Structure 1
Amino acid sequence: MNSGLPAGWTIERVRALSGDPSAVSLSSDRLVVLEVAGQDDYEPLRPDVILAFHELCLVRDDGEWFIGQLDDDGSVICWASYGSDLAEAINGL
């Protein structure tokens, strides 16, 4: 499923660049939040793309890629932005 990936991207390209042959695109129908330093509450994200690399995820919200962790319940807690370039975000994994 390549739906939602930036132009020119396929899941195969994501797998090749990340070196993770099991990388997959996940449904965005799940709780995704951003941990904000110095705040007790999480900031909710509304991703249009979630890419999973085992327990790590890249989540795109409003054109920006966030790094996060997939929890056992299927939710994702993100902790940092990797900017708008998918290749740079993958290289940061």
Structure 2
Amino acid sequence: MAPELPDGWTVERLRRHSGDAEAGEWYMGHLDPDGSVGCWASYGPDLAEAIRNL
């Protein structure tokens, strides 16, 4: 598992730091038996909205 972000980091700060416009997006998907992840779609940076879209 990746280390936690330092205090005060936001999704936007993570995007600027990484140079990745999609960093911090919530993805829906499944976990395969071998441990790999199959992503279906991005549901944006808002966790509450992603949960509502389940």
TM range (shorter): 0.5 to 0.7
Query: Which ranges in structure 2 are unaligned for 5 or more consecutive residues?
Result: 8-21
Match of 2:42 among 60, 81, 90: 81
TM-score, normalised relative to structure 1: 0.34
Q: Which runs of 4+ in 1 moved over 4 A?
A: none
Query: Which ranges in structure 1 are unaligned for 5 or more consecutive residues?
Result: 8-60
Percent identity, aligned pairs only? 64
The whole-number CA distance in structure 1 between the counterparts of 2:50 and 2:35 is 21
Q: Greater share of strand residues, 1 or 2? A: 1
Give the superposed CA RMSD. Answer: 2.4
The whole-number CA distance in structure 2 between the counterparts of 1:89 and 1:67 is 8
The alignment status of 1:91 with 2:34, answered yes or no, reads no
Q: Greater share of helix residues, 1 or 2? A: 2
Displacement after TM superposition at 1:72 (Å): 0.7
TM-score, normalised relative to structure 2: 0.54
